[in-house]
């Protein structure tokens, strides 16, 4: 018993001695390490978590470039609040050599070669996809819209003249939940990108040395969203495809169609429960039990709509639409009681 107690005491003495030796070493290492001095380029709420993470990691070794359009974006607001050095885009290239590295996150501008080459370590970018998949302005939207099971973030080197083609420094993957909406995935990827960015910055020399070129033969593209993506062609898209597109664009753009010559925005919709009568594409009926509109889609599928906005009107419930516009349509021919396949 005494022997056992002695062994325990000796163990804890040894443990304390080890930590007494380790802690000063760690403190010395911490004292000599300085993260690179960074000039950050960003404009929106995807940029902000990365800026906040870099600020926590780099302290006063950080400057910010953003647009000065009114009203002020969240990046500018944060920089002003935290009293970070702030510059208006476009910047003078002579500023770049004052920093070690340029970091771009959701900036929206093609960076000129003289800016990229002005930083001793060049520039890196946080992109919201596993490159070379979904190069372009809308990778999160396309990942949901095309039914991807997973996505992620990439840290890449920025090259002149073209977006999203640079060597990959780091990547991190995450699953896409089958019912996720774009703002939730956007927030998750922004946070994931911020964490990976800090890890990359703190291991910059290794990451740059081990950077790998993209395989352009595997590239896919996510171009800027236009009104064409929002227009529903009822005879071509199934209810599931329309609902997936609704989740992909949620909070950014509304799906659109037309009725009696007016544009209609679909504000709230879902896939209906089983047992809903099959209708031809574009045909509309009102389901009294759920107070919703049932619209026929391709592949003999149906979509349930709960709220819409008719051109020139405020948002209205499906019930209000039924009591107004649908009753008007019923007084016409059956073919008018359809949403146009625009």
In this structure, the answer to whether residues 162 and 282 fall within a common structural domain is no
In this structure, the answer to whether residues 208 and 251 fall within a common structural domain is no
What's the CATH number where 187 sits? 3.40.50.170
Asked if residue 1 is part of any domain, the answer here is no
In this structure, the answer to whether residues 142 and 265 fall within a common structural domain is no
Q: What is the pLDDT of residues 123-171, one digit of tens each?
A: 999 999 999 999 999 999 999 999 999 999 999 999 998 899 999 999 9
In this structure, the answer to whether residues 317 and 254 fall within a common structural domain is yes
Categorize the per-residue pLDDT at 62 as very low, low, confident or very high, splitting at 50, 70 and 90. Answer: very high
Asked if residue 341 is part of any domain, the answer here is no
In this structure, the answer to whether residues 70 and 164 fall within a common structural domain is yes
Q: What is the pLDDT of residues 77-126, one digit of tens each?
A: 999 999 999 999 999 999 999 999 999 999 989 999 999 999 999 999 99
In this structure, the answer to whether residues 166 and 144 fall within a common structural domain is yes
Final residue before a domain boundary, out of 183, 218, 253: 218
Asked if residue 20 is part of any domain, the answer here is no
Query: Which pLDDT score, from 0 to 100, does residue 330 have?
Result: 61
In this structure, the answer to whether residues 264 and 141 fall within a common structural domain is no
Final residue before a domain boundary, out of 168, 197, 218: 218
| Number of domains forming the structure of the chain | 2
Q: How confident is the prediction for the chain on average, in pLDDT?
A: 88
Q: Which residues pair with 151 in a beta bridge?
A: 174
Asked if residue 101 is part of any domain, the answer here is yes
Query: Which pLDDT score, from 0 to 100, does residue 80 have?
Result: 96
Asked if residue 155 is part of any domain, the answer here is yes
In this structure, the answer to whether residues 207 and 277 fall within a common structural domain is no
Q: Taking the CA of residue 127 as centre, how many other CA atoms within 13 Å lie in the half-sphere pointing to its CB?
A: 30
Structure tokens at 326: 């649908």
What domain range is 116 assigned to? 38-218
In this structure, the answer to whether residues 141 and 202 fall within a common structural domain is yes
In this structure, the answer to whether residues 262 and 138 fall within a common structural domain is no
pLDDT at 329 over 80: no
In this structure, the answer to whether residues 89 and 195 fall within a common structural domain is yes
Alpha-carbon distances of 190 from 97, 115, 283, rounded to whole Å: 28, 25, 40
Final residue before a domain boundary, out of 218, 242, 273: 218
Q: Which residue has the higher pLDDT, 69 or 307?
A: 307
* Mean pLDDT confidence for 165-186: 97
Query: Which pLDDT score, from 0 to 100, does residue 140 have?
Result: 98
In this structure, the answer to whether residues 205 and 56 fall within a common structural domain is yes
pLDDT at 54 over 70: yes
Categorize the per-residue pLDDT at 260 as very low, low, confident or very high, splitting at 50, 70 and 90. Answer: confident
Asked if residue 158 is part of any domain, the answer here is yes
Asked if residue 8 is part of any domain, the answer here is no
């Amino acid at each position: 018993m005494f022997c056992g107690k002695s062994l325990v005491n000796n163990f804890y003495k040894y443990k304390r001695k080890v930590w007494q030796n380790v802690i000063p070493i760690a403190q010395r290492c911490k004292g000599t390490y300085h993260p690179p001095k960074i000039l950050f380029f960003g404009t929106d709420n995807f940029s902000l978590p990365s800026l906040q993470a870099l600020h926590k990691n780099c302290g006063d070794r950080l400057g910010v470039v953003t647009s000065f359009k009114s009203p002020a974006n969240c990046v500018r607001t944060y920089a002003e609040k935290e009293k970070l050095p702030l510059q208006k885009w476009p910047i003078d290239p002579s500023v770049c050599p004052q920093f070690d590295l340029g970091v771009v996150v959701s900036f929206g501008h093609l960076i000129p070669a003289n800016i990229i080459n002005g930083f001793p370590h060049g520039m890196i970018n946080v992109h919201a996809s596993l490159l070379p998949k979904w190069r372009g302005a809308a990778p999160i939207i396309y990942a949901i819209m095309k039914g991807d099971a997973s996505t992620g973030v990439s840290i890449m080197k920025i090259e002149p003249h073209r977006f999203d083609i640079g060597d990959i420094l780091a990547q991190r993957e995450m699953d896409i939940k089958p019912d996720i909406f774009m703002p939730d995935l956007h927030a998750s990827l922004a946070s994931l990108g911020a964490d990976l960015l800090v890890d990359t910055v703190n291991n910059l020399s290794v990451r740059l040395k081990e950077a790998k070129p993209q395989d352009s033969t595997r590239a896919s593209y996510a171009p800027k969203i236009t009104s064409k993506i929002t227009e529903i062609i009822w005879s071509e898209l199934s209810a599931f495809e329309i609902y997936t597109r609704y989740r992909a664009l949620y909070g950014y753009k509304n799906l659109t169609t037309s009725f009696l010559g007016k544009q209609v925005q679909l504000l709230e919709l879902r896939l209906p429960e089983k047992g809903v009568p099959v209708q031809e594409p574009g045909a509309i009926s009102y389901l009294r039990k759920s107070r919703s509109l049932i619209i026929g889609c391709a592949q003999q599928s149906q979509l349930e709509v709960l709220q819409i906005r008719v051109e020139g009107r405020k948002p209205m419930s499906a019930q209000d639409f039924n009591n107004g516009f649908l009753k008007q349509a019923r007084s016409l021919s059956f073919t008018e009681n359809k949403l146009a396949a625009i």
